């Protein structure tokens, strides 16, 4: 089985890039399951109803979110009845679900969304103990995790913590694709961050000039999405049908 995870969609230009490239990748790579992080698709923060309607027209099994889940109030209208999952370690009682189970090729595949606590600016429960709770609760052949976190150390620690208990884990949020994809000692596929789907000439998707003014002057500057040509970043996990562990992992950058 081949599972594709696509990095954070940044703005509507990133969405259009996904619409253009995703079918080609899915066909060329014989993808069975597709997961897309959509927390920045709505103008760089959150998701609108129009965004979700466009995503719904594509062959996407699960849409994961992150610290900007609630960035657009539209999401309260559809999150409970959609293929969207938000971080499972958000406070109890918030709308939506923290994981989703789908069936493909006679296998049950669970996708879990977690959020980190280091430098994220979001109050959340412990993602490590939340993962323990979910792994005891979920019954699935293959379990995959999108860990939306800032600190590389926290992501690596989570990889080792879950090694052997899940098939694969990838990091999102920093929008920069890392080159550390590998299979951990107990068989779990891992990468610190799969990158973003958004403008190439940008500061993690934002306008370069506006970003520089923020850093150079330390004055508040309204963020602005960058324009221009976009890239699509992602990762593919090849899962062994017998062991349900990763036997190959490789990056996508187009």
Kindly report, residue by residue over 21-41, the tens digit of the pLDDT: 999 999 999 999 999 999 999
What pLDDT score was predicted for residue 150? 98
Q: Is residue 223 predicted with pLDDT exceeding 90?
A: no
* Residue numbers annotated as active site: 68
Q: Is residue 117 predicted with pLDDT exceeding 90?
A: yes
Query: Are 162 and 145 within 8 A, CB to CB?
Result: yes
Kindly report, residue by residue over 237-251, the tens digit of the pLDDT: 999 999 999 999 999
Phi-psi region for residue 2, left (φ > 0), alpha (ψ -120 to 50) or beta?
A: beta
Structure tokens at 63: 């849409």
Q: Is residue 222 predicted with pLDDT exceeding 90?
A: no
Q: Is 76 strand, coil or helix?
A: helix
Please give the DSSP secondary-structure letter assigned to residue 10: B
Kindly report, residue by residue over 174-210, the tens digit of the pLDDT: 999 999 999 999 999 999 999 999 999 999 999 999 9
Instruction: Give bridge partners of residue 85 from the DSSP assignment.
Output: 64
Kindly report, residue by residue over 129-145, the tens digit of the pLDDT: 999 999 999 999 999 99
Q: Give me the percent of the chain exceeding a pLDDT of 70.
A: 100
What pLDDT score was predicted for residue 49? 98
Please give the DSSP secondary-structure letter assigned to residue 203: B
What pLDDT score was predicted for residue 9? 98
Q: How confident is the model at residue 121 (pLDDT cuts 50, 70, 90)?
A: confident
- Give the mean pLDDT of 204-228: 92
Q: Which CATH superfamily is domain 2-199+230-253 in?
A: Metallo-dependent phosphatases (3.60.21.10)
Q: Is 25 strand, coil or helix?
A: helix
- Where exactly are the structural domains of the chain? 2-199+230-253
| Three state DSSP letters for 122-183 | CCCCCHHHHHHHHHHHCCCCEEEEEEECCCHHHHHHHHHHHECCECEEEEECCCCCCCCCEE
Model confidence, pTM: 0.97
Q: Is residue 122 predicted with pLDDT exceeding 90?
A: no
Q: What is the mean pLDDT of the chain?
A: 97
């Amino acid at each position: 089985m081949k599972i594709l995870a696509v990095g954070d969609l940044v703005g509507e230009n990133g969405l259009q890039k996904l619409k253009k490239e995703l079918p080609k990748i899915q066909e060329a790579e014989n993808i069975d399951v597709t997961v897309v992080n959509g927390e920045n698709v709505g103008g760089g923060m959150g998701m609108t109803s129009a965004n979700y309607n466009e995503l719904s027209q594509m062959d996407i099994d699960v849409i994961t979110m992150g610290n900007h889940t609630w960035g657009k109030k539209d999401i309260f209208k559809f999150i409970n009845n959609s293929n969207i999952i938000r971080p499972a370690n958000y406070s109890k009682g918030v709308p939506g679900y923290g994981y989703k189970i789908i069936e493909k090729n006679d296998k049950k595949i669970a996708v879990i969304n977690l959020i980190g606590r280091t430098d994220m600016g979001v109050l959340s429960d412990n993602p490590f103990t939340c993962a323990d709770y979910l792994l005891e609760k979920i019954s699935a052949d293959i379990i995959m995790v999108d860990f939306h976190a800032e600190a590389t150390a926290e992501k690596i620690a989570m990889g080792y913590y879950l090694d052997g208990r899940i098939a694969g884990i990838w990091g999102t949020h920093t929008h920069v694709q890392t080159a550390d994809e590998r299979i951990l000692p107990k068989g779990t596929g891992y990468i610190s961050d799969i990158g973003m789907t958004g403008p190439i000439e940008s500061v993690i998707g934002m306008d370069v000039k506006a970003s520089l003014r923020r850093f150079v002057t330390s004055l508040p500057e309204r963020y602005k999405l960058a324009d221009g040509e976009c890239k699509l970043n992602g990762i593919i996990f090849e899962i062994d049908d017998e062991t349900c562990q990763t036997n190959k992992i490789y990056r996508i950058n187009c």
